[in-house]
Amino acid sequence: MKLGVIVNVQRPEAEKTLASISRWAAKHKWPISMCARIDMEESPEFSSFPPGTFTSDTDLLLALGGDGTMLNAVRTVAHLRIPVLGVNLGTLGFLTVVPAAECTEALDRIRRKDYRIEDRLMLEVSDPSGETEAWPAVNDIVLIKAGIARMVRFTVSHNGEPVSTFAGDGIIVATPTGSTAYSLSVGGPILMPTMNGYILTPISPHTLAQRPMVFDQSAELEIAIDSVVGDAMLTVDGQLTRNLGEGSRVIIRASEHRARLVSFSDRSFFEILREKLHWGMIPALGHERNLPRR
The rounded Cα 62 to chain-centroid distance in angstroms is: 16
Closest C-alpha among 18, 56, 12 to residue 37: 18
Q: Residue 184 in 3-state DSSP?
A: helix
Question: What is the rounded distance in angstroms from the CA atom of residue 57 to the CA atom of residue 129?
Answer: 35
- Is 67 one of the annotated active-site residues of the chain? yes
Query: Among residues 57, 67, 140, 226, which one is catalytic?
Result: 67
As beta bridge partners, residue 253 has: 124
Positive or negative, the CA dihedral 152, 133, 82, 1 is negative
Closest C-alpha among 258, 203, 294 to residue 82: 258
Q: How many CA atoms lie within 13 A of 9 on its CB side?
A: 7
E-only strand ranges, 105-203: 116-126, 135-137, 140-146, 152-158, 161-168, 170-174, 197-203
Q: Which residues are catalytic?
A: 67
